[in-house]
């Protein structure tokens, strides 16, 4: 059995901003990381991700939407088999889809949740994702913008990030990355990816 990763999510406070502002950012982020995806009911989405991309994708989604002060995303991650696969993700089914939907439905006040066949993995990743989301909840607009650029350009220097982001001072880039706890977020991405691969 091959395990797949499916995410189910929605945009928090989608009506606080004109859809023409946030929709292109949501779609661009999904296109960047997804094998296939669908956006439905206006502000909800589902996507299949490569195992090695899912955690980077989630934090990229958060950064992309948090550039608008009141917006964010809630995401449920499901890890399991796909028993029926169709090019249209809405017509596919299997444990990965069930777990993704269940983890999304159980979010409560959390914005990230993970569910699989492996309770120990679930407990481990959910603790880390809960702690990480307390960091992303504090991202301001400038920090979110720089995190997004940094995730898209992982090998760029701060000087290069400055040029890409259009900021005037390199100290701004450094300050925003520090305030966003970007190094910690990268550690979360790397650790969660490594743990997930053990069950692939």
Over the stretch 5-29, which tens digit does the pLDDT of each residue have?
999 999 999 999 999 999 999 999 9
pLDDT given at position 1: 59
Over the stretch 163-195, which tens digit does the pLDDT of each residue have?
999 887 888 899 999 999 999 999 999 999 999
pLDDT given at position 111: 97
The contacts of residue 13 (CB under 8 Å, 6+ apart) are 70, 71, 72
Q: Residue 140 and residue 122: Cα distance in Å, rounded?
A: 29
Per the structure block, which two tokens stand in for 76?
């449920």
pLDDT given at position 62: 98
Structural domain boundaries in the chain: 4-197
Banded model confidence at residue 87, pLDDT cuts 50, 70, 90: confident
Over the stretch 120-141, which tens digit does the pLDDT of each residue have?
999 999 999 999 999 999 999 9
Going from the C-alpha of 47 to that of each of 38, 42, 129, the distances in angstroms are: 6, 15, 19
Q: Residue 173 and residue 184: Cα distance in Å, rounded?
A: 16
Q: Residue 108 and residue 106: Cα distance in Å, rounded?
A: 6
- Residue 53 pairs with which residues in a beta bridge? none
Residue of 29 and 158 predicted with greater confidence: 29
The mean pLDDT of 140-155, rounded to a whole number, is 96
Q: Residue 63 and residue 68: Cα distance in Å, rounded?
A: 9
- Note whether 135 and 181 are within 8 A (CB): yes
- The fold for domain 4-197 equals Alpha-Beta Plaits (3.30.70)
Over the stretch 53-85, which tens digit does the pLDDT of each residue have?
999 999 999 999 999 989 999 999 999 999 998
- Note whether 116 and 99 are within 8 A (CB): yes
Q: Residue 55 and residue 185: Cα distance in Å, rounded?
A: 10
Question: How confident is the prediction for the chain on average, in pLDDT?
Answer: 95
The mean pLDDT of 36-41, rounded to a whole number, is 96
Per the structure block, which two tokens stand in for 106?
């159980």
DSSP 17: S
Checking if the pLDDT of 48 tops 80, the result is yes
């Amino acid at each position: 059995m091959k395990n797949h990763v499916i995410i189910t999510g929605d945009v928090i406070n989608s009506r606080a901003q004109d859809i023409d502002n946030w929709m292109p950012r949501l779609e661009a982020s999904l296109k960047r990381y997804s094998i296939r995806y669908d956006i439905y009911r206006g502000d909800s989405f589902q996507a299949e991700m490569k195992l090695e991309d899912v955690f980077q994708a989630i934090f990229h989604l958060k950064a992309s939407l948090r550039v608008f002060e009141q917006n964010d995303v809630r995401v449920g991650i499901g890890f399991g088999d796909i028993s029926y696969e169709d090019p249209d993700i809405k017509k596919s089914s299997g444990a990965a889809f069930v777990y993704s939907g269940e983890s999304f439905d159980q979010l409560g006040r959390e914005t990230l949740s993970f569910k699989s066949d492996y309770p120990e993995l679930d407990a481990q990743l959910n603790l880390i994702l809960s702690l990480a989301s307390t960091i992303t909840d504090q991202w301001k607009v400038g920090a979110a913008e720089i995190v997004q650029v940094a995730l898209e350009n992982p090998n760029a220097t701060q000087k290069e990030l400055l040029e890409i982001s259009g900021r005037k001072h390199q100290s701004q880039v450094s300050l925003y990355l520090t305030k966003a706890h970007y190094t910690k977020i990268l550690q979360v991405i790397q650790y969660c990816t490594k743990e997930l691969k053990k069950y692939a």
